[in-house]
């Protein structure tokens, strides 16, 4: 089986430092870590240090969905990498996010997520991450 992955590119209308910091701030993450179907802010706890852990509980009308992981790399304002665990992902799934100045106070974000159970899981995560980046753009505007 070939390794399934996805890559999403987005320009966020905020400076790189602000975008990066939002990914490690529990208060900011609670606002944008909300894929389709979430009815409230997520519950977030984290220790944004290399080897530190995070937990994100996404709330839908039917249930709470836990997500968790460990920070693998934190290169301030440039790159963030972490494991990603959820009921819909593999234990060794990894997300890497690169942040690049795009001029005029904007940031190019490239999110790459590797290792999925199947194409359906990858496609679901693609929808989720796309919605999360949309929410982030709105929250930081």
Whole-number pLDDT of residue 1? 43
Whole-number pLDDT of residue 99? 98
Residue spans of the domains in the chain: they are 5-140
Q: What are phi and psi of 62, to 5 degrees?
A: -100, -30
Look at residue 39 and give its three-state secondary structure: coil
Confidence of residue 2 (pLDDT cuts 50, 70, 90): low
Q: Which CATH superfamily groups domain 5-140?
A: START domain (3.30.530.20)
How does pLDDT run across 53-95, given as a tens digit for each residue?
999 999 988 889 999 999 999 999 999 999 999 888 887 899 9
Whole-number pLDDT of residue 69? 96
Strands (E), the chain: 5-12, 43-46, 53-59, 64-75, 79-83, 94-103, 106-114
Looking from the CA of 96 toward its CB, the CA atoms found within 13 Å total 13
The answer, yes or no, to whether residue 97 has pLDDT greater than 90, is: yes
Confidence of residue 37 (pLDDT cuts 50, 70, 90): confident
For the segment 113-140, the average pLDDT, to the nearest whole number, is: 93
pTM for this model (two decimals): 0.94
């Amino acid at each position: 089986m070939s390794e399934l992955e996805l890559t999403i590119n987005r320009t966020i209308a905020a400076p790189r430092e602000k975008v990066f910091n939002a990914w490690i701030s529990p208060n900011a993450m609670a606002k944008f870590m909300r894929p389709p179907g979430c009815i409230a802010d997520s519950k977030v706890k984290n220790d944004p240090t290399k080897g530190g852990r995070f937990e994100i509980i996404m709330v839908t009308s039917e249930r709470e969905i836990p997500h968790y992981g460990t920070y693998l790399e934190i290169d301030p304002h440039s790159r963030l990498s972490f494991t990603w665990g959820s009921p819909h992902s593999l234990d060794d799934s990894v997300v890497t996010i690169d942040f690049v100045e795009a001029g005029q106070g904007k940031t190019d974000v490239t999110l790459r997520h590797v290792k999925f159970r199947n194409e359906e899981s990858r496609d679901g995560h693609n929808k989720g991450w796309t919605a999360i980046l949309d929410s982030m753009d709105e929250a930081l505007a």
